[in-house]
Chain A
């Protein structure tokens, strides 16, 4: 039987309805569809998909089990390498990773690996996750700083190796960017909680309200623990540095998303944190965070939601799927447009943004064509809410509190190939080491660091 060229579609909420709620947009595969999609996999010998996976999932193996209808076994194979599959199955840019490498790309769509991962994770969770067997304890203790994707992955893997792990989290909830950054309609928070609970069942303890660098220092952690992993992320928002950026109505993407997602401002005043969005919202930037902002602003009541970006659609860093969802929901893309000034009314409330038209010039160091302003092309757009989503720098709290931890140009921690910082026994991974990247790369770094920490602990005996 020839292989079906198209991926099985995944049903989604109608765009007109979904912009009025925070429920998840795609519904996921049914069991039948999942098995049918798994059967599209040709089980090729060289397994290119696995090379594209930062957390080393045995992709063809779980797909094989699923294709044969062994769903429980398939989930087991999947979870032997990742403790956070329901999250990966939703937010991974699989088109650039596993699916990007899939042999089927030569004849049509790749196998829907991301959708299959999501199906298995959801199936297992709804059925009731099995309590994993705990490894024999090694007697070693590791402190993990930050309960985001890097920290959670590192903690889970270390626990599986038998080490005692305590995670220190500054906020009141686990997940880091999974909780404060990624919106409910893309990653339901109940799923984050469920996967975090799984990691706790592996024996990991999470302590909240502990701001490492302030409440306790890395030096103090080193006195009590055999090793430390730092995964404090890229929490420091970047600004456009144009006049009017402190007007009432201008938010960093982080503030806006934290208010809405983690603090649940969409449920104000039942949840006490407010977040005001007027009728006319504009998001600056065109990455995944920008798409999240633009789509969230619609759900918070914006009648018009713009994406303002200085290059063209081709250069947008966001995933194609996110851009597609944003367009479906009516987000208006103002491309080759750069803001030059925010303008406020007499009370200091944002009322418009002055922009300038751009054209593309020669490629810059990133390989993308450099945008150049077109003289005398300024124009204004009426807006009352501005969301600045042009990236984040590494969080400075830990590096500032411990000078021996050397940093690099953007304030990211310097690490060697094992993920070890300039202080022996202190490892780091994720955005704090690489600068802002993706959830899955942070998980990959957490996984690698766990292996390095294990090696380090064994060598210390």
Chain B
């Protein structure tokens, strides 16, 4: 059993939880994820690691309440226990000195971006962050990320904070100004990652994206999380979750992420939660 030792409400639908899991915390690295199962009847869901504290033995996850399990998780309180919590899973981000890194986070995707930003900064990179959200209320971790950024750009869909527009516009602006960019990380909604990858492809700037397909076991066993990368089947759980954004078939990922929408709606209805 894994105890929730801290809980924060980041917005109406986004919550942060610190969970006691010393073995996972000991090994966790930026870019990896965990799989949790709330109770005996629960499903296994992957959540990307938003932070880790080896001394405290905790893992921080930030999640948006989108389905049955995340909604149920959102109702849990400090002191409550989660039945299963396995990780760290997946291949960690490759942290090295690249030069200038542009780090793009959209919505709840800002959460897993944070530890990568921190580690890249520590590795001596010049770090430019572009954070986007639908509106100011949904923007998270600005302060934390600022601490490890050389430059930070904010944009919102409605213009309630920063520039009005999309992260890809800000990125295009940087490129247009002649900024030399060595690598880009983009984590957020699939469509955002696709648009960013489309932009950087034109300029041949290496771009890493973190994929979030539906998973079951998280250990390479079921293949439910398969994605098409460079024309080949890859498993996000053991080969990813990060992949070269220029090679990912985003259309297929979007399609596969809709596989159980009807069932999810049904489960939420039965459980009396709205989606």
Q: Which residues of A contact B (CB under 8 A)?
A: 170-172, 180, 208-211, 214-216, 235-237, 239, 241, 245-248, 251-252, 254-255, 258-259, 263-264, 268-274, 276, 347-348, 395-397
- Pair B263/A276 contact, Cβ less than 8 Å: yes
In the complex the two chains form, is B222's CB within 8 Å of A237's CB? Answer: yes
Q: Which 10 A-B pairs have the closest CB atoms?
A: A274-B263, A235-B221, A255-B222, A348-B255, A272-B43, A209-B86, A252-B223, A269-B267, A273-B43, A172-B84
Are A216 and B84 in touch, CB under 8 angstroms?
Answer: no
> Smallest Cβ distance from B43 to chain A, in angstroms?
4
Query: B219 contacts A215, CB within 8 Å?
Result: no
Q: Is B68 an interface residue (CB 8 A)?
A: yes
* B201 CB–A CB distance under 8 Å: no
Contact between B42 and A276, CB atoms less than 8 A apart? no
Which residues of A lie under 8 Å from residue B238 when comparing CB positions?
Answer: 396-397
CA–CA, A342 and B41, complex, Å: 33
Q: Are B256 and A211 in contact (CB under 8 A)?
A: no
CB of B32, distance to nearest CB on chain A (Å): 8
Distance between Cα atoms of A237 and B43 in the complex (Å):
21
CB-CB under 8 A from B42, the residues of chain A are 272
B239 to nearest A CB, angstroms? 9
A251 CB contacts on chain B under 8 angstroms = 224
Contact A214 B27 (CB under 8 A): yes
Closest to B260 in A: A274
Bits for B180-224, please: 1 = Cβ < 8 Å to A, else 0. Answer: 000000000000000000000000000000000000111111111
Q: Is B88 in contact with chain A by the CB < 8 A criterion?
A: yes
* B 220-235 to A, binary, CB cutoff 8 A, 1 in contact else 0: 1111101110000100
- What is the bound-complex CA distance between A251 and B259, given in angstroms? 11
Q: Mind listing 26 A-B residue pairs with CB under 8 Å?
A: A180-B221, A209-B84, A210-B86, A211-B89, A215-B24, A215-B86, A216-B23, A235-B217, A235-B219, A235-B220, A236-B220, A246-B226, A246-B256, A248-B259, A252-B222, A252-B224, A255-B223, A258-B217, A258-B222, A263-B216, A268-B267, A271-B43, A274-B260, A274-B264, A274-B267, A395-B219
* Number of cross-chain contacts by CB at 8 Å: 122
- The reply to whether A246 and B222 contact each other, CB–CB distance below 8 Å, is no
Complex Cα–Cα for A272 and B228 (A): 27
Secondary structure dominating the interface of A? loop
Chain B interface, >50% SS class: mixed
Residues of B within 8 A of A (CB): 23-24, 27, 37, 41-44, 68-69, 83-89, 216-224, 226-228, 233, 238, 252, 255-256, 258-260, 262-264, 266-267, 270-271
A249 nearest in chain B by CB position: B259
With A and B bound together, what is the CA distance between A279 and B78 in angstroms? 45
Closest A residue to B268 using CB positions: A269
User: Whole-angstrom distance from the CB of B65 to the nearest CB of chain A?
Assistant: 15
> Which of A214, A263, A273 gathers the greatest number of chain B CB atoms within 10 Å?
A214
Instruction: Give the complex CA separation of A273 and B45 in angstroms.
Output: 10
Q: Complex formed: what's the CA distance from A170 to B42 in Å?
A: 17
When chains A and B are docked, how far (Å) is the Cα of A180 from the Cα of B233? 23
Cβ-defined partner of B258 (8 Å) among A245, A248, A272: A248
Query: Closest residue to B83 on the A side, CB-wise?
Result: A172
CB pair B222–A215 under 8 Å, yes or no, is: no
Is the pair A276, B260 in contact by a Cβ cutoff of 8 Å?
yes
On whether the beta carbons of A170 and B43 are closer than 8 Å, the reply is no
- Min CB distance A152 to B, Å, is 18
- B233 in contact with A263 (CB, 8 Å): no
Which residues of the partner chain B approach A211 to less than 8 Å between Cβ atoms? 86-87, 89, 218-219
The residue among A215, A216, A251, A348 with the most chain B CB atoms within 10 A of its own CB is A215
A237 to chain B: which residues have CB within 8 Å? Answer: 221-223
Max chain B CB contacts within 10 Å: which of A263, A270, A271, A274? A274
**A258:B271 contact, CB within 8 angstroms:** no
Q: Is the CB of B27 within 8 A of A272?
A: no
Question: What are the residues of chain A within 8 A of B270 when measuring CB–CB?
Answer: 269
* CB–CB B220/A248 < 8 A: no
Chain A residue, CB-CB nearest to B219: A170
Closest to A264 in B: B41
* A396 neighbours in B (Cβ, 8 Å): 220, 238
Contact A210 B220 (CB under 8 A): no
Residues of the B chain whose Cβ atoms lie less than 8 Å from the Cβ of A216: 23, 27
Residues of A within 8 A of B227 (CB): 246
- In the complex, the answer to whether B23 meets A215 with C-beta atoms within 8 Å is yes
**Chain A residues closer than 8 Å to B255, beta-carbon distance:** 246-248, 347-348
Residue of B nearest to A272 (CB): B43
Cβ contact within 8 Å between A272 and B216: no
Report Cα–Cα, A209/B21, bound state, in Å. 10
Alpha-carbon separation in the docked complex, A211 to B42 (Å): 19
What is the chain A residue whose CB lies nearest that of B68? A272
Other 14 A-B pairs with CB < 8 A, given A211-B87, A272-B68, A272-B267: A171-B217, A172-B37, A211-B89, A215-B27, A215-B86, A215-B88, A235-B220, A248-B256, A248-B259, A254-B221, A259-B216, A269-B263, A269-B266, A272-B42
